[in-house]
Structure 1
Amino acid sequence: MTGKTAHDQDFLSRTQSALAMQRKICAQPEETAEHVLCDILAGSRDTGFGREHGLGRVRTRQEWQRAVPIRRYDELAPYVERQLTGERRVLTSDDPYAFLRTSGSTGRAKLVPTTGHWRRAYRGPALYAQWGLYFEQIGAERLTGDEVLDLSWEPAPALDQLHGFPVYGITERPVPDDPEDWNPPWRAESWFPRDADSPTMAGLLYRKLLQLADRDLRLIVSVNPSKIVLLAEALKENGERLVRELHDGCGTAADPALARRLAAAFDRADGRPLLTDLWPRLSLLVCWNSASAALYRPWLSRLAPGVATLPFSTTGTEGIVTLPVDDHPSAGPLAVDQGHFEFVPWDELDDGRPLPADSPTLGYDELEAGTDYRLVMSQANGLYRYDVGDVYRMVGSVGATPRLEFLGRAGFQSSFTGEKLTESDIHTAVIRVLGSGSVDHPHFSAVPVWGTPPHYVVAIEWAGTSRAVHTQDTAHRIDAVLQEVNVEYADKRRSGRLRPLQVLPLVPGAFRTITERRFRQGTAGAQIKHHWLQKDTAFLDTLRELGLVRARPTEK
């Protein structure tokens, strides 16, 4: 895409209009929230689910709560299975045309029905609104095709089918034909789709660097911050190759002048180029910035110094929950136009078990600032009163709409004996010991190991080959800091209910190897997440299976 086209300007105008509408909804959300509930009811009454729950008689929020119990996905799965086997009008009157597969990062992958109505009336408009904010932030008055690197979507043909239905991840779905759906102008660009000639994540990202090296890039949009970190690593590791291939025209048109300019810039960076060395006018990074994703901020600030960050919408395969409308760094207003949302007050004693089916819930207009809540969500895709398992904190308001920050999964912590370790605890302890200045990437993760008593193993990727790996001293220091940041962990260590923490040294590139393995197995790049705290010892099994554990030298 080169030059200004009518389509590009229509697209930009549409994003601006969608953002303006989102802000208007935030100011006065009542009518929109009522419309969404009515739409969900209209689409579910004349269905198998609707008849089973007597939805023909339901008109109000209170009647909806009495008619439909709160459920986790495994309780909704039988309805999804009926859809998959070809039964019509099971959950929605608009039958699904495909199923979206979740990443499975918190358990077995789920299949989420997607319908034309849900895409056109809900998810598509939301994407236009959030991109309107990003274009506003970089001051884009027109689109030339040089501004954007979109890492949030890797369109590809649907390779999997189940009972005749296409099955794919939300970030790798095919480019739609529907003009009402999300259709960015860069969908036809050669750099945008998942490249079959780049079978690895590193290869895919390098290909994008090569194809976009001559652009006046202003904006990089991802879902997970880890993908931006991997992009920066691909640049750092392949700077010389990039210059050479730009000069010779390998994989792109030869541009000796650009190659000379970049060679000089990379030399000034001592051979460790940053994203801003490649794209000097880069001004905005977009990715998740809350919960454990917020821990990436130090890395992002070093990889693109001086570049602002904004959050991607709080979104999952099942639906969008918050949409950013301003420059808040981590939280957005509840997207009352995306679903019918209910909330259950949460406290740290909640271990993530399913909510009781008849749990009392609050509406969006009953939330209190500074209070944490578990989310119950109903979307027009057929997931009704779905116990998502996610926890949000109300951190303020945008107009009359609560501003919510995602805190993480309820119960997503490790607690053998009541220590309730979190990813933040692990991150703080390891970074304080190792130091963040010399760490280019979050190359560590903690694993709970059962025993009598149990303990934690922190797997750390050690760079270099000559330096001795003093695992015992490092483990002792991390354990000490962990006791400082988590008083319950300290108590359990003093009483002997937890053994001392251990460190497992990994070979250089271990975490990259695991990422590439998941990528080869079919997980979309945008859905590959890094965890600083694992759920169980399966991660250790993977490390050993792949030969990623480093032989330990003799301790001195």
Structure 2
Amino acid sequence: YGQLAPRDVWPNLQVMACWTGGSASAYISRLREICEGITICDHGLHASEGRMTMPLAAETSAGMLEIGTHFFEFLPVEKADSPDPHVLSAWELTPGREYYILLTTSSGFYRYNIRDVVRCTGFHGDAPLLEFLHKGAHISSITGEKISESQVVEAVRAAQADSGLCTTQFTMTPEWLDQPGYTLYVDLRRHTESTQLERFASLVEQQLCSRNEEYREKRQTGRLSAIRMRALPESAWQTLQQTRLKKSGGSAEQYKHPCLMPDPEFRSVFLQACGLAGEPLRQTHL
């Protein structure tokens, strides 16, 4: 039946504004294929509590801190568990470092931790440029490795670029099998040889090790097994979306696909909901 592209409906469309950071970045390469010739621009980081960044350029998820709307403070991620952490002002941020945003607004929020983790990518004048990474809750740790959803997304995107293997959906989750470790569930629309899966799993492993020193150390000492990879049919991902929407009570437009599920029970619940609990699944591991 072919494919309906945005310009088939809106021939004069020049710019598309959407989420491009965090887990949404996993879909940007596919979106660019569908929206060839259309500039894709992030619409900034905002929530019902307030607007936090304003986009200044296309093809980047980083935006300038909205210094004219609220008062912002920042908590370094590595200090989040400290009983008396040193909170930073906007001009004190360091490019490359990650922070929680603390929001003080005229509507009554005072130092509200919205639980958004952002990375400072530089400055525009004295205002920091920030890119959204993930919600603070989207962190998984079995042995102290503290893997974030943004690290998983970046690792898979890099592995896709290196291997040419395209997965439209993926979710990583911790599992306790013979040895604790992580399984990457993927949606592969075409048949893929086991050797391709093995190489892809190896590339994701390498990329994750390069982004997370604690994960690399746990792998080197054998406390974590190598990443396992399992391919699931498209119907499984549709069932996952329906199950999560039913639980949350949200709409399809509000659905945010989880690229990292820290809950170790996710595997059994997910496979049972999809009717795959007793079926052998295509798997590869290092």
Q: Is the alpha carbon distance of 1:281 and 1:516 closer, same or farther for their aligned partners in structure 2, counting shifts above 3 Å? A: farther
> Residue 189 of structure 2: which of 463, 467, 491 is its match?
463
Contact 2:16/2:38 (8 A) holds in 1: yes
Please give the alpha-carbon distance, in whole angstroms, between the structure 2 residues aligned to 1:457 and 1:359: 34
Coordinate RMSD, CA, aligned: 3.3
Q: Name the structure 1 match of 2:132.
A: 406
Please give the alpha-carbon distance, in whole angstroms, between the structure 1 residues aligned to 2:183 and 2:141: 14
Please give the alpha-carbon distance, in whole angstroms, between the structure 2 residues aligned to 1:360 and 1:468: 50
Task: Give structure 1 regions of 4+ aligned residues with deviation exceeding 6 angstroms.
Answer: none
Please give the alpha-carbon distance, in whole angstroms, between the structure 2 residues aligned to 1:468 and 1:294: 24
Q: Which has the higher strand share?
A: 2
Deviations 1:57-108 (A, max 9, x none): xxxxxxxxxxxxxxxxxxxxxxxxxxxxxxxxxxxxxxxxxxxxxxxxxxxx
Is 1:396 the equivalent of 2:122? yes
> Residue 234 of structure 2: which of 492, 497, 508 is its match?
508
**Aligned letter for 2:176?**
W
Q: Which has the higher helix share?
A: 1
Is 1:540 the equivalent of 2:262? no
Please give the alpha-carbon distance, in whole angstroms, between the structure 2 residues aligned to 1:459 and 1:375: 31
Is 1:375 the equivalent of 2:104? no
Contact 1:469/1:553 (8 A) holds in 2: no
Query: 1:271-420 to 2 correspondence within 5 Å?
Result: 271-325=2-56, 327=58, 329-347=60-78, 353=81, 356=83, 358-410=84-136, 412-420=138-146
- Structure 2 gaps, min length 5: none
Q: Name the structure 1 match of 2:153.
A: 424
Contact 2:51/2:66 (8 A) holds in 1: yes
Contact 2:219/2:225 (8 A) holds in 1: yes
CA shift, 1:475, in A, is 5.7
Contact 1:395/1:404 (8 A) holds in 2: yes
Please give the alpha-carbon distance, in whole angstroms, between the structure 2 residues aligned to 1:341 and 1:490: 34
Contact 1:397/1:403 (8 A) holds in 2: yes
> Residue 524 of structure 1: which of 231, 242, 251 is its match?
251
Q: TM-score, structure 2 length as denominator?
A: 0.78
Q: Is the alpha carbon distance of 1:492 and 1:364 closer, same or farther for their aligned partners in structure 2, counting shifts above 3 Å? A: closer
> Residue 480 of structure 1: which of 176, 190, 202 is its match?
202
**Larger Rg belongs to:** 1
Please give the alpha-carbon distance, in whole angstroms, between the structure 2 residues aligned to 1:365 and 1:534: 34
Deviations 1:435-470 (A, max 9, x none): 34x54x2x2211111356311112223436xx5874
**Aligned letter for 2:51?**
I
Q: How many residues align?
A: 274
Contact 1:461/1:509 (8 A) holds in 2: no
CA shift, 1:368, in A, is 4.2
Contact 1:342/1:375 (8 A) holds in 2: yes
Deviations 1:275-313 (A, max 9, x none): 333433221111122233223221111111111011122
CA shift, 1:552, in A, is 3.4
**Aligned letter for 2:206?**
E
Q: Name the structure 2 match of 1:172.
A: none
- Structure 1 gaps, min length 5: 1-239, 241-270
Q: Is the alpha carbon distance of 1:475 and 1:456 closer, same or farther for their aligned partners in structure 2, counting shifts above 3 Å? A: farther
CA shift, 1:424, in A, is 2.8
Specify the SS of the correspondent of 1:323.
strand
CA shift, 1:394, in A, is 2.9
Contact 2:232/2:281 (8 A) holds in 1: no
CA shift, 1:431, in A, is 2.4
Please give the alpha-carbon distance, in whole angstroms, between the structure 1 residues aligned to 2:252 and 2:241: 9
Contact 2:22/2:133 (8 A) holds in 1: yes
CA shift, 1:546, in A, is 2.0
Please give the alpha-carbon distance, in whole angstroms, between the structure 1 residues aligned to 2:77 and 2:177: 30
**Aligned letter for 2:152?**
E
Deviations 1:13-70 (A, max 9, x none): xxxxxxxxxxxxxxxxxxxxxxxxxxxxxxxxxxxxxxxxxxxxxxxxxxxxxxxxxx
Please give the alpha-carbon distance, in whole angstroms, between the structure 1 residues aligned to 2:45 and 2:87: 21
Query: 1:80-479 to 2 correspondence within 5 Å?
Result: 240=1, 271-325=2-56, 327=58, 329-347=60-78, 353=81, 356=83, 358-410=84-136, 412-421=138-147, 422-428=151-157, 431=160, 435-436=164-165, 439=167, 441=168, 443-450=169-176, 453-463=179-189, 467=191, 470=194, 473=195, 476-479=198-201
**Aligned letter for 2:29?**
P
Please give the alpha-carbon distance, in whole angstroms, between the structure 2 residues aligned to 1:308 and 1:287: 11
Please give the alpha-carbon distance, in whole angstroms, between the structure 1 residues aligned to 2:216 and 2:75: 31
